[in-house]
Amino acid sequence: MQKINSKILLLADAYSNHTFKWAAALSEQGFTICIFSLSNQEGNLYEKVKNVRVVYNTISKNLFQKPSSNILKLQYLTALFRLKKTIKQFQPDIVHAHYASSYGLLGVLSRFQPLIISVWGSDVYEFPLKSAFHKKLLRFNLKHAGHIFATSVALAVETKKYTNNSIEITPFGIDTNVFKPFEVKSLFDKDEIVIGTIKSLETVYGIDYLIKAFNILRLKYPELPLRLLIAGSGSKEGQLKALANDLNLGSSVVFTGRIKFEDLPDYHNMITIFAALSLSESFGVAVLEASACGKPVVVSKAGGLPEIVENNVTGLIVQPANESEAAEAFEKLILDKKLQFELGMNGRNKVQANFNWDDNVKKMVELYQKVLPGKLSS
């Protein structure tokens, strides 16, 4: 792939693993990247990444909960002022907003073109359902986007409910040289059977159903060394820990909190069976990471998950919000190690063939060139 010498301004959460991967990959292709982030955390994630800088303008996470609030409006105007100043100083070739809600609105109000909006999931599946105001806001943002990208066909179909504009599918690929099977210093003993997930601890990801499914297994097979790994942080962490406590799961469950991006392959390789029992899911990057590590997966029939998991070939698909069915799927895999191995290897082969990270980066670069034909220098 030829190196590109152009500037991209990303409107995105700088500490999202997705943002980090895109920014680092694009910088390797020669792009100069600036990230405008509405959230700030300690530490410099981009310290070792060339040609990437971050501008922070922290605002309340409850920005759209009370749209009439003068304080929140003032915060947003402050962010818009900072964004326009950043655009003037950075002089990007493209502004690319990741999430159609807050970042999408900032991009639209900046009046910069070409503007790309990438929809990721909750901004389309949940945001417009909050109120008529939220729905109108999403329609407004998508109407004024020059280009719209979606990570899966399912997400594109959902997005089409709010726009007549065309949508490009941009799958989020996996680096199979990083996410691969390997021996790891684990939190668990070698003989332990670890069912695990790596997700934000939010209602939409159905982790309460995972805990209940695990409890069903534990009660049915008290003689087996079953463990549950829940890696991630979120607003429901306290409730999920309380649920595990109410079910007397004790040390059988391990909550790790947020884990660093570079540690993700280690945690995937601690897991025997990966679970994603989401109620709604735009794509399922963590599922692909698990498959790339050779792990069999159990996922819900929700959103884009059936697009990336082939039932009985790379994993098992169950109905969402059904802990009994999930427990049966886990049981099937636990009692059949040969099936575990076959599904895991099939999953890795599928990721290598269809979700290769280099191919996805190449497609993104091609789309940028399509947005600005003849302007992006190579």
The domain locations on the chain are 7-173+356-371, 193-354
Question: Cα separation of 89 and 65, whole Å?
Answer: 32
Res 273: pLDDT: 98
Which of 68-77, 113-122, 161-170, 358-367 is the least confident region?
68-77
335-356 burial string, b = 16+ CB within 10 Å, else e?
eeeeebeebbebbbbbbeeebb
Question: pLDDT class for 250, splitting at 50, 70, 90?
Answer: very high
**Rounded Cα gap, residues 315 and 329, in angstroms:** 9
Amino acid identity of residue 133, one-letter, is: F
- What would the pLDDT profile of 299-350 be if each residue is shown by its tens digit? 999 988 998 999 999 999 999 999 999 999 999 999 999 999 999 999 999 9
The pLDDT value recorded for residue 66 is 45
Q: How confident is the model at residue 181 (pLDDT cuts 50, 70, 90)?
A: very high
3-class SS of residue 217: helix
Give the model's pLDDT for residue 282. Answer: 81
Rounded mean pLDDT, 145-164: 94
Q: In this structure, how many other beta carbons lie within 10 angstroms of the beta carbon of residue 373?
A: 7
Lowest mean pLDDT among 5-14, 35-44, 217-226, 256-265: 35-44
What is 7-173+356-371's CATH topology? Rossmann fold (3.40.50)
Mean pLDDT over 173-194 rounds to 96
Q: If pLDDT is split at 50, 70 and 90, which confidence band does 290 have?
A: very high
Name the burial class of residue 296, with classes exposed (0-12), middle (13-18) and buried (19+) by CB atoms within 10 angstroms of its CB. Answer: buried
Q: Is the pLDDT of residue 65 over 90?
A: no
Residue 70 has pLDDT above 70, yes or no: no
Write down the mean pLDDT value for the chain: 91
Residue 288: closest CA among 261, 309, 267:
309
Residue 268 corresponds to which amino acid?
Answer: H
pLDDT tier at 132, thresholds 50, 70, 90: very high
Phi, psi of 298 (to 5 degrees): -120, 120
Which is it for strands 7-11 and 297-300: parallel, antiparallel or unpaired?
Answer: unpaired
Q: What does R_g of the chain's alpha carbons equal in angstroms?
A: 21
Q: What is the pTM of this model?
A: 0.82
Q: Which fold has domain 193-354?
A: Rossmann fold (3.40.50)
In this structure, what token pair is assigned to residue 93? 């070739």
Average pLDDT, stretch 47-72?
A: 67
Residues 6+ apart with CB under 8 A from 364: 22, 26, 170
| Intrachain domains 7-173+356-371 and 193-354 with the same fold | yes
Q: What confidence score (pLDDT) does residue 68 get?
A: 44
3-state DSSP assignment of residue 104:
helix
Residue labelled with tokens 């100043």: 85
pLDDT, residue 44, reads 74
If phi > 0 it is left, if psi is from -120 to 50 it is alpha, else beta; for residue 296 that is beta
Q: What is the pLDDT of residue 45?
A: 80
Look at residue 95 and give its three-state secondary structure: strand
Count the alpha carbons within 13 Å of 309 in the hemisphere toward its beta carbon. 34
Classified as helix, coil or strand, 171 is coil
